Structure 1
């Protein structure tokens, strides 16, 4: 009995083991996946038993939900071989296929048959390695078969770098960078996107491969996948536009299903590059012109001045400032330049480039009062490409009136002739009036010249020299006038004047000539010339009177000598020496020294006829000389001594007194005195004399030092 039971138990155990071995569940799929990859997984249920399996439920347990089931990817293939698409129920990490529910009928898996379920898993940015477990259960199952599958997830990783990291460049240069993306991870990376952001001082030019977009300074490429250890490159060209914001940064990201697995912009690793700017500075060269403004031309003149950039870099925001006075107006600025009232604005100038600044300059002031002439201060102000301002030393130019080859309009008057005249004489005066300089300007020509000569009062005109004399109210003086004198010819003439009589003796008059015209600009030109005319009486005798000494003590004696030189003039033919009367007025109460008188004629001694001495207090008078010959052309010398009286100044000691000692020579009854043209018949002369009181100096020498008490 015990043996039978044992045998029976053994037989049952064998049967159960065989049944278990007949139900198999196989799971298959990749043993490695990268992130953002998709793979097919398969579950096969094999019924190797003699029993039919029904109410089948297949369960797949994922290691984590980041193995994402792809909806619509599941198909159930029954033993009959007809696949049916059917999505499992997803609960947490579990996927469940209720076969009857999914197929829509009660499905049975006969012995010896198999059914298959195929489906897809996606990995995402968070998927990590793990083991998947598949199980099956239902009616007819002795136990639930299972199978496991370990999947290693190989994450990708990227780094990005730019070469070169720094580039030397100038504004305007085109620079090239190579951007390299390297997958340093264990698995591939997908949906790789590269963005390169250019600073505001850079402008996109081109790229290889062509970017997906290039807007706002951001260039974007979609590069697809990069395998583990693989690289991808893009080449970028940009132009340097400014001196600032020359940075350049590039980032790379990858991911899937709208999710970014890694982004260097967020997670770190941005690649950067810079421009080391080389700045070449400009230098403007120009020579301010000598601006010539045509006289009286309302159109002014056209000025052209070359401005050249002789520096090493471009010049921008070029201005040329000049201090034109208010009466100089800038018009018609040409060639892209402009004028703002203080400065010309010029186009930018590249290295070696020249610009001709051309404009019209018009004088709006009064040509007649102040023709334009002066100095101008020119200053260039400009910037390099970086906006640094330059102000080189200013240059000086000039502006002036251009009168052409003729020169400025000018009127000249020249009056010449005797400046010392005797009364009642006829004298000639030469008058020249001329115009020179520009004769036609501004549509006009020089007008006729009007000339006048102002004749002094007392003078009469013997010959007006072609002019018209209009005398003054007393028939003398007045104006000589010439009208409509041709400026091309001028005036050259001689006038003759008759000097006044003896009433004007000793007076000085001005003879004045004036010329007036309007030049081609309508400006009044006036020129004048004047000469003085001294009216002299006929000096029939020249006189020299001396006192020796001219300074004398009051008790001393002075010798007076008066020399008369008679002119060689026929009017003196009837005047003889014996008709002369000499008078010394013995000023300052002088007293004649008796027998001190000497008289010579042409050096030969002669005697006086009568000597009347009323000094002191009166005069010394010599009436006549013992010689009846004519005085014409002869020389008379009268010499004598005087002394001072008690009443002579100075009257107190010490003292000093200066006075004039006067003497007169009367020419006698045969000297003509009948009308205004007759000469004066007497001659007076004076000399200065100083009288001092006596003084005495006493000097004692040889006395011993102690002879006088020093106190």
Structure 2
């Protein structure tokens, strides 16, 4: 029994020394406290039986009384069974090993499958400690340069006994990432680094872009449609796909869309959309589409594709017909229609019918047309056709703007037609002349004085003939015959004779729509040749003036005049005698 208790004590004491803090290996329990070993033992071990002298003799003297230490240091029983270096706490073994995370306790797990560009990649690191606390634990996870880390260094510091730690290293795959290895290093005090290599593969992404059809035949004014196709032709997914379609300045967007976006495009998947545009010019008909994809860190790839228009130029051909430009004088205006037709396939642009329609004024009644004096008519575009010619009717009103100031009752207009095709190429037709005439009750008035002899003797009477030609004049016309000075009226032919300041006049009222003939008789001055006043007339030219006046339907005044003249001779009495002349005799 005693030997059994002693053996038990030896085992317990050894365990307590192993678990005790450093520094107690050579120091006994204090005199004023219960030894620690006694606190850890059962109650029955607090003291040996008083009569058991053999036990007391076999144990150190300080154990006989648990309240006292020996006055001098004695060899601890533990030192009998432990190495010499364990006797004091201030010594360490010459080849101390302090690691507690073993290489086989570290695992690194990466992605389940291939990585795509722009993916967020996570590596799970698990490390398990053994029974002793380890310190200064640092975990570092690294990837090739084309991966950007979010969290990859972990300063763990201490790991307790049997503790398992888990850390997640996160990286972002960039545009140029390629397959490789993740390298994870676990470092700790007093042990070599633990390194783990984890393979991974990257499926790179790539796209192609095209427009179909690449070339479209079209004419100006036609609407064409392209299909934009973006395809993922790489080995992995592509992200943030942005497509922008830019039309040339000669094209106008009509329908569809000019841009598209998708967050991702799987391998082999396509993104398509239509774009429709109208051809509005003959140049700048190119069309470019740009497709790009990338990560949040930047653009990975950008491609361009172009399409164009094969312009089909259609030629216009214009001609025109015009009516007779007859304007009723009393009405004052007329409406006319000039028909312009396009027998070509193309549209005629900037159509100009040059003319100057003065003295008539012009009012354009057709929509889209205008008239500028001295320039002519500008017309809207006239579309072409493949069948019946397209017609445009230019309707205008011609007005006699100043009927009283008209110097003629007719004349001519010169027309020339100019236009351009879809591409601005000019076309000019030959000049054409069209006449205009005043019709209806157009007034006319003339007067003449005839049958006046070239010369007469002083005092002779003459009977000149006055002819009045009038048409379309209102009311009676007044004819006035102004006699030469000193002349008198012999027969007024039913006219009225009156004198104003020694000037003699004859007046008649005649019809404004017929021809009237008047034959008054008038006499030159009757003066004796011996009268010196006769000298004022003899050998002089006597002028007789006649005029007529009237108004027309436009209330315009018309007049006409004529003159007749004669020289006045004076008769001189001569005396003649018969004489003979004979030669002188020799």
- Class of the TM-score when normalised by the shorter of the 2 chains: 0.5 to 0.7
What residue is the counterpart of 1:69 in the other structure?
Answer: 149
Q: Distance in 1 between matches of 2:496 and 2:423?
A: 80
Deviation at residue 305 of structure 1 after TM alignment: 3.1
What residue is the counterpart of 2:154 in the other structure?
Answer: 96
Match of 1:281 among 275, 300, 315: 315
Give the 3 Å change call, closer, same or farther, for CA 410–364 of structure 1 in structure 2.
Answer: closer
Deviations 1:529-564 (A, max 9, x none): 97999x9xxxxxxxxxxxxxxxxxxxxxxxxxxxxx
What residue is the counterpart of 2:396 in the other structure?
Answer: 358
Match of 1:367 among 381, 391, 405: 405
Match of 2:478 among 440, 446, 449: 449
Unaligned runs of 5+ in 2: 1-96, 385-389, 529-538, 570-578
Match of 1:240 among 255, 279, 300: 279
Residue 516 in structure 1 maps to residue 548 in structure 2: yes
Deviation at residue 457 of structure 1 after TM alignment: 11
Q: Distance in 2 between matches of 1:62 and 1:426?
A: 145
Deviation at residue 482 of structure 1 after TM alignment: 4.4
Give the 3 Å change call, closer, same or farther, for CA 491–173 of structure 1 in structure 2.
Answer: closer
What residue is the counterpart of 2:181 in the other structure?
Answer: 131
Deviation at residue 522 of structure 1 after TM alignment: 4.2
Deviation at residue 151 of structure 1 after TM alignment: 1.4
TM-score, normalized by length of structure 2? 0.63
Deviations 1:269-300 (A, max 9, x none): x2111112222233333334543455487x65
Deviation at residue 69 of structure 1 after TM alignment: 3.0
TM-score, normalized by length of structure 1? 0.53
Deviation at residue 355 of structure 1 after TM alignment: 4.1
Q: Distance in 2 between matches of 1:60 and 1:324?
A: 97
Q: Secondary structure in 2 aligned to 1:272? A: strand
Deviations 1:607-636 (A, max 9, x none): xxxxxxx9999xxxxxxxxxxxxxxxxxxx
Unaligned runs of 5+ in 1: 1-15, 72-89, 101-105, 212-218, 265-269, 440-444, 472-477, 536-584, 586-613, 618-711
What residue is the counterpart of 2:168 in the other structure?
Answer: 118
Residue 27 in structure 1 maps to residue 114 in structure 2: no
Alignment root-mean-square deviation, CA = 5.0
Deviation at residue 258 of structure 1 after TM alignment: 3.9
Deviations 1:31-55 (A, max 9, x none): 52121112332223346x6x34533
What residue is the counterpart of 1:410 in the other structure?
Answer: 445
What residue is the counterpart of 1:342 in the other structure?
Answer: 374
Deviations 1:239-285 (A, max 9, x none): 22222211111111111114001112xxxxx2111112222233333
Q: Secondary structure in 2 aligned to 1:23? A: helix
Deviations 1:123-173 (A, max 9, x none): 01132322112233446x976544311112222222212111111112222
What residue is the counterpart of 2:265 in the other structure?
Answer: 226
Residue 173 in structure 1 maps to residue 210 in structure 2: no
Deviations 1:460-494 (A, max 9, x none): 94x654345789xxxxxx98834223435764577
What residue is the counterpart of 2:356 in the other structure?
Answer: 323
What residue is the counterpart of 1:80 in the other structure?
Answer: none
Residue 147 in structure 1 maps to residue 200 in structure 2: no
Give the 3 Å change call, closer, same or farther, for CA 498–517 of structure 1 in structure 2.
Answer: closer
Match of 1:271 among 284, 305, 313: 305
Q: Distance in 2 between matches of 1:143 and 1:382?
A: 93
Residue 312 in structure 1 maps to residue 345 in structure 2: yes
Q: Distance in 1 between matches of 2:449 and 2:521?
A: 16
Work out the number of aligned pairs and report it. 460
Deviation at residue 459 of structure 1 after TM alignment: 11
What residue is the counterpart of 1:108 in the other structure?
Answer: 161
Q: Distance in 2 between matches of 1:228 and 1:288?
A: 70
What residue is the counterpart of 1:74 in the other structure?
Answer: none
Q: Distance in 1 between matches of 2:136 and 2:270?
A: 49
Q: Is the 8 A contact 1:333 1:339 kept in 2?
A: no
Give the 3 Å change call, closer, same or farther, for CA 496–395 of structure 1 in structure 2.
Answer: closer
Deviations 1:50-104 (A, max 9, x none): x345337353442424323345xxxxxxxxxxxxxxxxxx5xxxx334164xxxx
